[in-house]
């Protein structure tokens, strides 16, 4: 469970101070699918980075299962990301020189899993996203939708408890978008993940269990959706 209390994140540029997130309070239950909506610049991506430990709040606390992310040393934070948190980015962020299988395998390297074990888990992860036959293809040889599927496989191969997705369909066409969202929904249900998905697309947000709307760094509304 995530517990955010009075979280503020300020950026400083030249002599200006830019509040990306301001005095934010939020609770996210285990296994919940929360969609975060808002206009560009409302602080959605910053919030996601804070939840994933990729950035530190200027003020306030962020607790994940009772552990304050702000007080963890960098090594433990890195370990937490390696074991428990999966990321899916809008631009896929695949390593261009590695094949699909190797990109997925990259997520297992920090865990110290032996090569045979890694290979088996990578195969299973690619099968779960329907790309087992594309394992040896480089990202440049895959379509946008296929690349995002690889990214999803990479996020899930380590059996995380939390998946953070930042505009996962932002670079995809409509049909592919529906496929990806459908895949995410299926995996969320099958694995009882805590899925936090940022999207400016209302149609996607409505599929989630709850929707939080951000405006100027604040969560202005949070409402449950009819999605069981």
Where along the sequence are the contacts to another protein (CB under 8 A)?
46, 49, 52, 54-55, 74-75, 78-83, 87, 89, 91, 93, 95-98, 102, 105-107, 109-111, 115, 154
* Minimum CB distance to another protein, residue 95 (Å): 6
Closer residue to another protein (CB): 38 or 53 = 53
Closer residue to another protein (CB): 91 or 202 = 91
CB 55 within 8 A of CB 210: no
* Minimum CB distance to another protein, residue 35 (Å): 21
* Minimum CB distance to another protein, residue 49 (Å): 4
Closer residue to another protein (CB): 171 or 215 = 171
Listed residue (80, 134, 81, 74) closest to 104, CA to CA: 134
Closer residue to another protein (CB): 161 or 225 = 161
* Minimum CB distance to another protein, residue 33 (Å): 21
Closer residue to another protein (CB): 55 or 207 = 55
* Minimum CB distance to another protein, residue 48 (Å): 9
């Amino acid at each position: 469970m995530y517990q955010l209390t009075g979280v503020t994140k300020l950026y400083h540029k030249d002599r200006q101070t830019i509040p990306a997130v301001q005095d934010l309070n939020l609770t996210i239950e285990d296994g919940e699918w929360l969609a975060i909506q808002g206009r560009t610049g409302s602080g959605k991506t910053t919030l996601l980075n804070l939840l994933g430990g990729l950035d530190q709040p200027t003020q306030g606390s962020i607790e994940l299962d009772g552990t304050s992310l702000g007080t963890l040393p960098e090594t433990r934070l890195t370990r937490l990301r390696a074991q428990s948190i999966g990321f899916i980015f809008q631009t896929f962020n695949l390593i261009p020189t590695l094949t699909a299988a190797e990109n997925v395998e990259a997520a297992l390297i920090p865990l110290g899993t032996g090569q045979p074990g890694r290979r088996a888990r990578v195969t299973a992860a690619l099968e779960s996203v329907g790309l087992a036959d594309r394992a040896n293809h480089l990202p440049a040889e895959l379509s946008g939708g296929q690349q995002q599927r690889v990214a999803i496989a990479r996020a899930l191969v380590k059996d995380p408890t939390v998946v953070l997705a930042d505009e996962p369909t932002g670079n995809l066409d409509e049909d592919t978008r529906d496929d990806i969202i459908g895949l995410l929904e299926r995996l969320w249900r099958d694995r009882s993940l805590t899925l936090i998905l940022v999207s400016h697309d209302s149609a996607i947000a409505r599929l989630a269990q709850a929707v939080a709307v951000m405006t100027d760094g604040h969560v202005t509304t949070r409402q449950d959706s009819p999605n069981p």
